[in-house]
Homo-oligomer: A and B are copies of this chain.
Amino acid sequence: MKLSLKEIAKLIDGFIEGNSSKEILGINSLDDADSSQISYIISEKYKESLIKSNAGAIIVDEKLKQYCKSNAIVVKNVYLAYSILSHEFKQKQDITDLKYGNEINYPSTKIASSVLIGKNVTIGNNTIIHHNCVIENNSNIGENCLIESNVTIQQGSTIGDNCVISPGAVIGSEGFGNARNFNKKWSPIAQLGNVSIGNNVSIGANTTIDRGSMTNTEIHDGVKIDNLTHIAHNVIIGEDTAIAAKTGIAGSTRIGKRCMIGGAVGIVGHLKITDDVVINATSTVNRDILKPGTYTSFMPIMTHSEWKKVSIWLTKLDKIASFMKIKLKNIR
């Protein structure tokens, strides 16, 4: 891929300071970029790298423009501009053995010959389905989606437009519901709901999203979910929420819009998290969060010898308080 600064400025809605016909062959970091590449700076703390950079051009904002000695493209939101430009340099996954879709059923799709498609499935225009995927009965996949290899989409799932499902993900797996009988044996509950995924959603590699027990599990428009994440039955995730890898969300929890959930977070079931909540990585969410803001819960790392000493007292905090005659009402 080769783009002139003029073409790039148009793509990212910026204005050029320097040579608009300069040609760019790739993106790289300030430190590593050479004169054929473009770079970007998102924080003043990289000012030294900016000054020393050999990049052929740099995407900057008004504030940092002054330190740029190469060609610059000035934009309002540098990171957003970089995200848009990055797709121009992405190598397309043009793997062999993708066939243009059957003219009648799936016009303008590309589906690998190893894909198994069930009955009563619809697949939208320009959607690509890679190798060894299974699309079960009564599923609907929208337009412009990329379903990567080894994905299983189970019966009755709905996926909107412009979605990306990474390899190994499972959509519509059976929710985990079991009733105990009188002998304390488990009687599994058939999960009769489906999974409903909106537009512009991405689902990470080997992530699992369970079908609902009666109503649907819902992933709303613009949600981004990372790898190895588990979304249990009847969870609802609001628009434009992002969830980092290895997070687990238990059954029937509702998460608001524009939340950012860190990696390896555990959220227990039947909770309500409001809009614009940030949960830091590895936290446990054990109660409703009804106020926007940033929340945390984990033990900070210590040397093991420190931890051994501390952990003795961790389990006796109430007794320390009692011994010291501290009452909750006194310390609020």
A interface, CB within 8 angstroms of B:
26-29, 32, 76-77, 79-80, 82-84, 86-87, 89-91, 93-97, 112, 114, 116-119, 130-132, 134, 136-138, 148-150, 152, 154-156, 164, 166-168, 170, 173-174, 176-182, 184-192, 200, 202, 204-206, 208, 210, 213-215, 222, 224, 226-228, 230, 232, 240, 242, 244-246, 248, 250, 258, 262-264, 266, 268, 278-287, 289, 293-324, 326, 328, 330-332
> Chain A interface mostly helix, strand, loop or mixed?
loop
Nearest-CB residue, chain B, relative to A91: B155
Docked complex Cα distance between A91 and B186 (Å):
21
Select from chain B the residue with minimum beta-carbon distance to A330: B323
- Name the CB-closest residue of B to A181: B80
| Cβ-defined contact, A204 with B180, below 8 A | no
With A83-B189, A188-B202, A208-B204 already in contact, the answer to whether A331 and B326 are too (CB < 8 A) is: no
B266 and A266 contact, CB distance less than 8 A: no
**Chain B residues, CB < 8 A from A204:** 173, 176, 208
Interfacial chain B residues near A181, Cβ < 8 Å: 77, 80
A180 CB to closest chain B CB (Å) equals 7
Do residues B185 and A27 form an inter-chain contact, with CB atoms below 8 A?
no
- Tell whether, in the assembled complex, residue A179 and residue B298 are in contact, meaning their CB atoms are under 8 Å apart: no
**A301: chain B residues within 8 A (beta carbon):** 279, 283-287, 289, 295-297
Are B326 and A189 in touch, CB under 8 angstroms?
A: no
Min CB distance A154 to B, Å, is 7
Once the chains bind, are B295 and A298 in contact (CB under 8 Å)? no
Q: Which of B178, B303, B315 is in CB contact (< 8 Å) with A302?
A: B315
Q: Report the minimal beta-carbon distance from A306 to chain B, rounded to whole angstroms.
A: 6
For A173, give the chain B residue with the smallest CB separation: B205
Given A95-B155, A112-B116, A232-B263, 14 other A-B residues pairs in contact with their CB atoms under 8 A: A95-B137, A96-B117, A116-B131, A170-B227, A173-B204, A206-B228, A230-B245, A230-B246, A262-B268, A295-B304, A302-B315, A310-B317, A312-B328, A320-B326
Complex Cα spacing A185 to B321, Å: 47
| Residue of B177, B187, B297 touching A307 (CB-CB under 8 A) | B297
